[in-house]
Amino acid sequence: MILLRNLSYGRGSEPLVTDASVQLHPGWKIGLVGANGCGKSSFFALLRGELHQESGDLEFPGAWTVAHVGQETPALPQPALEFVLDGDVELREVEQAIAVAEAAHDGERIGALHARYAEIEGYSAKARAAELMSGLGFSNSDFERPVAEFSGGWRVRLNLGRALMCRSDLLLLDEPTNHLDLDAVLWLEGWLKRYPGTLLLISHDRDFLDAVMSHILHFDQCRLKLYTGNYSAFERARAEQLALQQAMHEKQQREVAHLHSYIERFRAKATKARQAQSRIKALARMEEVAAAHVDTLFTFGFREPVAMPDTLLELRDAVAGYGDKAVIANANLFIRPGERIALLGRNGAGKSTLVKMLAGVLPPLSGLRREGKGLSIGYFAQHQVESLRPEESPLQHLMRLDKTTREQDHRNFLGSFDFRGEMATQPCGPFSGGEKSRLALALLIWQRPNLLLLDEPTNHLDLDMREALTLALQETDAAVVLVSHDRHLLRTTADSLYLVDAGKMTPFEGDLDDYANWLAEQRNAASSAMPDESKAARREARENAEKNRQQLLAQRRPLVKEAEKLEKLMPGWQQEKDQLDERLGDPALYSNPDRTLLESLLKRQAQLANDIEHAEMRWLEIQEQLEGLAG
């Protein structure tokens, strides 16, 4: 087990956790939750030996193999599949040892190593690595591409695949869904459910935590508290604890009453569409969720748009793409105020390309894109934080947008995003990813858009900030087009779903559960189309590999034994011949010759020379045969 006994640690002079005592048992799947900067990632650094506690004890079995996702991936010429395979360290060690043993013609060692190779499923390793890469969104053509050719986000996926390839006892995952789209998130969720070891996972994805976790470890005010159950169970327990505090209880009642009135208004006008009905259920659940987050530092809402035209944006037979390459053809969409649209689709289907066309960043290759009079777009792109000026503070960014508003009003607005006091005037360059995402959202909201185009807006945001964004989106009258892997956000925000697939955008008649089933059907169809990837084929491949190995060993064994016998005989023969040569070269032997002895010595000398020559020739023949078998 992992045992914490009166453990305290920090970063620099800042304490993160003090006097923590917790037991984490083998096979548990533990979600680490808490505000950004509370010490979750530092706890991983402790487990990896990269950080040392200030006091107390942290113990876990020294024999455990620990896997984690590397922070950096150098621009390697190595094929992507081989990079992922390197995650299984013992596999690579056994492969290298086999090569050494074969070069040394050590038959017994070769047999033992191949037996171990079979035990660790080495014969199916490439198939397993390919399956991991496919689940994470890589195509078959990506397997042999050099690592250096992939972008930063895709290299993060390669690092994740490499960590999953490791046959670990303890798996440490820090925000593994940040660079994944929804289909990869769903695949990873299923994989982690089947993972047999101990899992420690940092995530701000509520549905992901609910589906995978057996326990929640909460980091709060330098303390650790372990809860049994998934994230929803943790929220219920935390809401009950907060309710014991009078001020928090009163705030809970106000929040729940406000949310309840909104839900009833939405229920009255909701359509009968499956996703709209799913949204009603998700919103009803938010009354319970809100009670667990009343102590949040985030209290913002979307500002009322300056104008709200009846038609915001229209696409008619629009083709989205780059240069002369069409990605999506004949897209038709009519967006009015209050519309809540989510775009679904597998990785690379063109969701982000479509959003760029809606935003006007990419003009349509053909067809019509028409803006309504008074349209004001708030576009949050996947890499929105890169547009921030690192040398400027949040306050300077906001004043650049609006020079007429009083500084105190700017400060009050930034405070609702937890940019308070000195933080509002500090350069944003050193900010964390979550803090930069919060700032980018704050700047977007200040501009009072009437059409929100949000492409993965929750990346790097913690759970409290995600919850605040979810609540704010319920209140705004602006239209919303959303791409996200956060299913909670999709369920509570979207009334209608569109599927981007096979170069088309079509309404999806169903909800997110139906979409998950559709993805599973697509994966099954792809597996059926590639019989080599099937379990039966992999089993047959393993059996054939084992059969070939046994045949190879059967051919090698007598050759190796014969070579070893010759290697033992030849030194003795050579030594005896050298002694005979020396004796026959002594003149004293011929001064009073014993003819019988001399003939015997000469005959033995000739015999040894002949035996040595034939033995050397045979040894060379054996080596050629062994090299042929090895090739």
Contact 75, 23 (CB under 8 A): no
| Amino acid, single-letter form, for residue 103 | A
- What are the E-state strand segments in 384-465? 451-455
Mean pLDDT of the chain: 87
- What are the E-state strand segments in 119-221? 170-174, 198-202, 215-220
Tokens 């171990």 correspond to what residue? 116
Indicate whether 195 pLDDT > 50: yes
Tokens 């057996």 correspond to what residue? 214
Give the per-residue pLDDT at 129.
94
Contact 108, 60 (CB under 8 A): no
- For the ranges 214-228, 320-334, 570-584, the lowest mean pLDDT is seen at 570-584
Give the per-residue pLDDT at 294.
66
**Average pLDDT value for residue range 406-410:** 93
**Average pLDDT value for residue range 540-558:** 68
pLDDT band at 533 (very low <50, low <70, confident <90, very high): very low
The Cα-based distances of 221 to 33, 36, 39, 239, 382 in angstroms read: 12, 12, 10, 17, 31
pLDDT, tens digit, 9 for 90 and up, residues 606-619? 899 899 888 888 88
The crossing angle, in degrees rounded to 10, of helices 107-119 and 535-584 is 160
Give the per-residue pLDDT at 555.
77
Cα 566 to Cα 77: distance, rounded to the nearest angstrom: 44
Indicate whether 553 pLDDT > 60: yes
**Average pLDDT value for residue range 524-542:** 59
Q: What is the pTM of this model?
A: 0.76
Cα 437 to Cα 425: distance, rounded to the nearest angstrom: 17
- What are the E-state strand segments in 142-266? 170-174, 198-202, 215-220, 223-228
Contact 457, 443 (CB under 8 A): no
Reported as half-sphere exposure (CB side, CA atoms, 13 A), residue 139 has a value of: 7
**Average pLDDT value for residue range 109-125:** 87
Which tokens is 171 given? 């798996």
- For the ranges 108-117, 149-158, 272-281, the lowest mean pLDDT is seen at 272-281
Cα 433 to Cα 441: distance, rounded to the nearest angstrom: 12
313-531 topology per CATH: Rossmann fold (3.40.50)
- What are the E-state strand segments in 411-484? 451-455, 479-483
530 vs 261, higher pLDDT: 261
Contact 5, 55 (CB under 8 A): no
DSSP secondary-structure letter at 503? Answer: T
Sequence-distant (6+) residues with CB within 8 A of 471 are 259, 286, 290
Indicate whether 407 pLDDT > 70: yes
Give the per-residue pLDDT at 71.
72
549 vs 305, higher pLDDT: 305
User: 2-237 in CATH: which number?
Assistant: 3.40.50.300
Angle (nearest 5°) at CA 99 between 97 and 102: 105
Cα 1 to Cα 23: distance, rounded to the nearest angstrom: 7
Provide φ and ψ at 56, rounded to 5°.
85, -170
pLDDT, tens digit, 9 for 90 and up, residues 60-78? 888 899 999 987 778 889 9
Burial track 429-453 (b if 16+ CB lie within 10 A, e otherwise) = eebeebbbbbbbbbbbbbebbbbbb
* Within this chain, domains 2-237 and 313-531 share the same CATH topology: yes
Q: How many CB atoms lie within 10 A of CB 254?
A: 11
Class of 554-630 in CATH = mainly alpha
**Average pLDDT value for residue range 94-106:** 90
Which tokens is 241 given? 């604890």
278 vs 235, higher pLDDT: 235
Per DSSP bridges, beta strands 479-483 and 170-174 are unpaired
- For the ranges 231-245, 286-300, 434-448, 577-591, the lowest mean pLDDT is seen at 286-300
**Average pLDDT value for residue range 305-326:** 93
Distance, CA of 59 to chain centre: 27
Give the per-residue pLDDT at 63.
86
| Amino acid, single-letter form, for residue 342 | A
Cα 205 to Cα 485: distance, rounded to the nearest angstrom: 9
pLDDT, tens digit, 9 for 90 and up, residues 9-28? 998 888 999 999 999 999 99
Domain boundaries, the chain: 2-237, 249-291, 313-531, 554-630
**Average pLDDT value for residue range 252-281:** 73
- Percentage of the chain surpassing pLDDT 70? 92
Indicate whether 538 pLDDT > 60: no
